[in-house]
Amino acid sequence: MTHKVKITVLRRELFADLQKQYLADPQAGKCEVFREGQEFLVGPEEYMSMLNGQFCAEAWDCVSRYIYTARQGGSIMGGWTNAENMMIACCNDGTRPVIFKLERIDVED
């Protein structure tokens, strides 16, 4: 059995008060890299190439360890989420985080 990971963009959040107080551009707005509902499928090639530049490097750094575990067939968040093959994660942008759903997909060989 092989395993892939489906990444779904659930939300792009915005904390305007924090942007106004702390950013050089207080009108930076929501993340411009992702869109709600956007999906990515990660297999071995996509994992090694960080989705061929389609994914934000900072966000990839936040979720890649979970993707790696899932691609090996591991439980991503067993006991925490309502499905052991799924988790909710986010990037580390404190003023405009993007929320992702990661799902391990088991594929019969």
E strands, 1-109, are 2-12, 39-42, 86-90, 98-107
The domain locations on the chain are 2-107
pLDDT at site 77: 79
Q: Is the dihedral of CA 37, 25, 56, 85 positive or negative?
A: negative
Neighbouring residues of 103: CB distance < 8 A, sequence distance ≥ 6: 5, 6, 8, 70, 83, 85, 86
pLDDT, one tens digit per residue, over 11-64 is 999 999 999 999 999 999 999 999 999 999 999 889 988 888 889 999 999 999
Note the pLDDT of residue 92: 96
Give the 3-state secondary structure of residue 6: strand
- Its sign, for the CA torsion 25, 26, 30, 31, is positive
pLDDT band for position 89 (50/70/90)? very high
